[in-house]
Amino acid sequence: MKTEVLTDLHRLGIGGVAIGTAFENITDEQSFEILQAAWDAGIRYYDTSPWYGLTKSERRFGNFLKEKDRSQFIFSTKAGRLFHEVPESEVPPTMWKNPLNFDFRHDYTADAVKRSIDDSLERTGLEHIDIVYVHDLSEDQVGDRYPYFLEQARKGAFKILSELRDQGIIKAWGMGVNKIEPILDCIESADPDICLSATQYSILEHEDAVDRLLPAVKKAGVKLVSGAGYNSGYLGGRERYNYKEIIPKGMHEKRARMSAIAEEYNISLIDAALHFVLASDEFVSIIPGASRPEQVKDNAEALQAKIPYDFWQELKAEGLIYEKAQIPTE
């Protein structure tokens, strides 16, 4: 039976990609400071994955959270890859700047999901996991093997996660992907509760999600969490977009114009980006990552920022926001 796991207390969470050394080699000490800043700012939703840093991020989250009162926070991680330790010379090339010595394979069978959850509990030292996302079951990650792995998940991951939820072992499950199609495919054949939609819905790019994703999840009673809501730092001025160095055509101009309008209203485009995502009825949380404690504090302050309604009206009037997209009403 579906349950509402994330409440208003969890509208702002923290994601674990950066702590997994995605963009720079963050040390254990730095990761602890980032997570401490999140806790001090009142953030009580923590999301990571064994994929991030080849289990490094998950271990770091666990080292921090296992000392906290388990009833005081929501923790989500992911399943879909299994990891085994290898010599340093055999660590595969990945996006991580300083991963641990592990290799992996994709596996969406029921047995693999159960083992993945057990491995995550052991790595983190936590008593239970609240939300499990089926991770990277998407063409951008598994290529032309997507139909094969989707069928594997339909018979395995989807069924076992529903059983674990119904048994009370986890509270909720869903997809954790960078594309729309896998979420739609999952909804067609299973009963997920909540999905982590990364790179699909931001103030810069959201038209496809408004037309196809949001109506589907609304009809199915599925909620969404926003990953990469700042387009992997692009909205903050970084020259990377959705984890890649290739910037889509026209995006520089769009960002520049939005930034100029934000300056006219004396607001931050990052603040506006956060409020834009949360204005959608389907999104219950946004989980920006952070490479420094200051970024966490900025995100917490952004949640309290007041964005003038005229700002949103101007963006819509110039066609910078899709006319069908929800905007904040206050």
**So which residues are the catalytic ones?**
47, 52, 78
> Which residue type occupies 201?
Y
d(CA 224, CA 196): 6
Phi, psi of 182 (to 5 degrees): -60, -35
Task: Enter the tokens of residue 215.
Answer: 């109506």
Q: Tell me the three state secondary structure of residue 131.
A: strand
Six-digit token string for 270: 């990052």
CB 251 within 8 A of CB 202: no
Element of type H or E holding 225: strand 223-227
Whose structure tokens read 């700042």? 230
d(CA 271, CA 290): 15
Q: Which residues neighbour 17 within 8 Å (Cβ) at sequence distance 6 or greater?
A: 52, 57, 243, 289
In 32-163 the beta strands, taken as DSSP E runs, fall at: 45-47, 74-79, 81-85, 102-106, 131-135
Task: Dihedral sign for Cα 263, 266, 269, 273, please.
Answer: negative
One-letter amino acid at 226 equals: S
Rounded Cα–Cα distance for residues 314 and 309 (Å): 9
C-alpha separations of 281 from 178, 215, 222, 325, 329 in Å: 20, 11, 11, 11, 12
